[in-house]
Structure 1
């Protein structure tokens, strides 16, 4: 009687019977309750749909991949100016579309461009998750980015994802493990990466070493970053669009690292970076004011530190940056 009522949808399948039927029929819960609610094993009739999706994935054109990358770039710009909090649904949908395209692409010629687009988008989504305080989501996005980079045979994208993932470990209190991961990223890249990316990885290593109390290693990594960064105002790496780094950006990063070490030179370096900073990098500006507050606190200059903390808190609230607000709160406790 129950079988007839289930088949005719007059009675829902209870959890107790669903567990039994899943084992008997070899179906998932979604298939049992939604796609097929029959007591007989499902007929293998999904090939037409599968082949249709494979054909669609194999015919993805260069213009379609460009559309994916353009969407990532738009989300990156919005994130930079407004923060990540309002972009979760858009980013989730974007990643789902890219994953779906990759899952049904068969040959390397079809997979690589989509995988590369997914690697870039996943790394952006992961950094947004870090900024929003969603650390587990960030970790999963970095793992997705690394898998996509390997699929795309793109060591630069793989190294960048590993380098950023190290910050999750650092924020979780495992800065020494983060140092190991960013160094592994450097080994993965070797000398094949662009100078701008190599400088980025060295600066990341320096910051993580500072958190880990590895002062000599930190200084060495900073020197490596400063000697590797290309000259001039250009900050975008044409071969690695996730990287924004020039001498001015690196001066701000260096000031942050020196501030972590309690170095007197940090304040000068950070004010120099503030003078030339692109005003559209709103969240980064919040970080810079936080760095300045930290540097002033190291010199017991509490009034100046408080001024920058107020500005940092305002900008962090504007972008919804949980990570920057946490930094502000921790420094405020020291005033």
Structure 2
């Protein structure tokens, strides 16, 4: 059976030699004994052609390097756990799930927060196994939770974690996994009766549609998210959704709609000095973040004032948002190119490439390469 190694490698923009180099480097860091460079080159070729099976030892190196799950790497369906015969095991799992509300749910939330912090600082590629296991544990708990009072807190925790897993998958170029994770998040949000988590998942899922070449459908989805029990949505979430609509409209060339959405986001954003949404910690948005977003939208619209917005936000955004920094430097590259300021554009492009490589972001690496291609460098 063929495997997904070649596609994942190509998504990184790596040659087979680069993959071998990165495998050796990671193995040395983790003190794992692997084959020589010459042997690895043969292995990679045979893995990609289906002539050799990827062993667990090498899969444990390739997954974090490429930001893929085991099923995506090997091109196989995830094997389902064998069903246990009898009622005793079923009742044990139901009883265990019944105790989660007061015990494990806070631990689930803390683990999601840790993974979110690691993701924005280091990127998603090395977190695939941890994220998949984390989400699977919550899905399993929800499966065996019977009463509504037990199910709701688990479902809310799952909604937040699945949305994060989906965004990580999208950043790693695993589009199918991203889409499916958003569907899990939406279903969990509905189980939790949380319009906030549902609207957020819909808003992020719109990016999948936009990048797949369905910009109008993406805009319609984020607008539907804004209509999803609007009266129960927090102001910061509504500002976030309006900003998302502005970005998607700008990318689709709908200037008037983009500017209207930006104005709405500005008017909705609370002036409370906070960075995160108290009701949903997945949302990070304050005046500095919005300035960066506004600059991104203006760049897409070809507005010359974008560069002032971008430089203003450059010093204001938290340095721990490393991946977001890659996007900001891409925007600055594009803004300088529009003004014919080639040397400034080159400097920001180099910084964007460095940050994209540092976080393993396939999305931003593609944008960097697109900027290189469009500039003729």
2:229 maps to what in 1?
Answer: 189
Deviation at 1:190, TM superposition (A): 1.2
2:351 maps to what in 1?
Answer: 311
Determine the C-alpha separation between the residues in 1 that align with 2:312 and 2:82: 62
1:85-96 matches, within 5 Å, as 85-96=125-136
2:206 maps to what in 1?
Answer: 166
Runs of 4+ in 1 over 4 A off after TM superposition: none
2:281 maps to what in 1?
Answer: 241
Q: Secondary structure at the match of 1:279?
A: coil
Q: Secondary structure at the match of 2:228?
A: helix
1:148-227 matches, within 5 Å, as 148-227=188-267
Q: Deviations over 1:150-185 (max 9, x none)?
A: 000000000000000000011111111100000000
Determine the C-alpha separation between the residues in 2 that align with 1:63 and 1:74: 18
Deviation at 1:62, TM superposition (A): 2.2
Does the CA contact (< 8 Å) of 2:196 and 2:233 recur in 1?
yes
Q: Deviations over 1:207-226 (max 9, x none)?
A: 00011111111110000001
1:122 maps to what in 2?
Answer: 162
Aligned residues: 297
Q: Deviations over 1:249-303 (max 9, x none)?
A: 0000000000000001100000000011211111111111011111112222222
Q: TM-score, normalised by structure 1?
A: 0.86
Does the CA contact (< 8 Å) of 1:232 and 1:247 recur in 2?
no
Q: Does 1:106 align with 2:179?
A: no
Query: Where does structure 1 lack aligned partners over 5 or more consecutive residues?
Result: 1-29, 37-43
Deviation at 1:45, TM superposition (A): 4.6
Q: Deviations over 1:111-136 (max 9, x none)?
A: 00000000000000000001101011
Determine the C-alpha separation between the residues in 2 that align with 1:195 and 1:35: 46
Does the CA contact (< 8 Å) of 1:126 and 1:139 recur in 2?
yes
Q: Deviations over 1:86-129 (max 9, x none)?
A: 00000000011000000000111010000000000000000000
Q: Secondary structure at the match of 2:283?
A: strand
2:66 maps to what in 1?
Answer: none
1:17 maps to what in 2?
Answer: none
1:4 maps to what in 2?
Answer: none
Q: Secondary structure at the match of 1:278?
A: coil
Q: TM-score, normalised by structure 2?
A: 0.77
Deviation at 1:63, TM superposition (A): 3.1
Query: Where does structure 2 lack aligned partners over 5 or more consecutive residues?
Result: 1-78
Q: Deviations over 1:3-62 (max 9, x none)?
A: xxxxxxxxxxxxxxxxxxxxxxxxxxx89xx969xxxxxxx9521111111111112132
Deviation at 1:238, TM superposition (A): 1.1
1:11 maps to what in 2?
Answer: none
1:69 maps to what in 2?
Answer: 109
Determine the C-alpha separation between the residues in 2 that align with 1:35 and 1:162: 33
2:342 maps to what in 1?
Answer: 302
Deviation at 1:189, TM superposition (A): 3.5
Find the partner of 2:178 among 128, 138, 149: 138
Q: Secondary structure at the match of 1:334?
A: helix
